[in-house]
Amino acid sequence: MSAYKKMLVAIDLTEEAPQVLDKARSMCEAHGANLVLVHVVEPVGYAYGGDIPMDLTELQDQLDKAAREQLGAYGNQFGVDKANQIVTVGRPESEIHRLVKEHEVDLVIVGSHGRKGFQLLLGSTANGVLHGTECDVLAIRIR
């Protein structure tokens, strides 16, 4: 197996994110790889089925801003270049697939809760990433 050159770690900005980032940073150091740090903000309308009779632009902008600030703090804490700190809006699996191609990533790292059953083991986002990307996927067990 050849060394990985570019790794993408997708985090959800919860208190568990540092566990995933710590492992991702170790993997990057071991392989001499670059790290791309990603958080995907789901559009506010997704939570309500997409049909909301009001403009949620301001709320979406606030969520995006908060995500950028928090991702930036994690990026700085774990030594990720600003250019490789990405916050995007959309469906997490779709955005991660797009970023894998766009950044020529050869390993995606995601967090995973240790529940029973394959989809529960990985979670729906990690499962979607695993089954739609062309590169390797590493699921880090969150404890």
Would 95 be classed as within a structural domain? yes
State the DSSP H helix or E strand holding residue 86, giving kind and residue range, or none if neither.
Answer: strand 85-89
pLDDT (tens, 9 = 90+) of the chain, 143 residues, equals 568 999 999 998 989 899 999 999 999 999 999 999 999 998 876 655 555 656 778 888 899 999 999 999 999 999 999 999 999 999 989 999 999 999 999 999 998 765 444 344 445 676 777 777 889 999 888 87
Q: How far apart are the C-alpha atoms of 37 and 32, rounded to whole Å?
A: 16
Would 124 be classed as within a structural domain? yes
CATH code of the domain containing 106:
3.40.50.620
Task: Provide the residue range defining the domain that includes 105.
Answer: 6-142
- Domains: count for the chain: 1
DSSP codes of every residue in 9-55: EE---STTHHHHHHHHHHHHHHHT-EEEEEEEEPPGGGGGTT--SS-
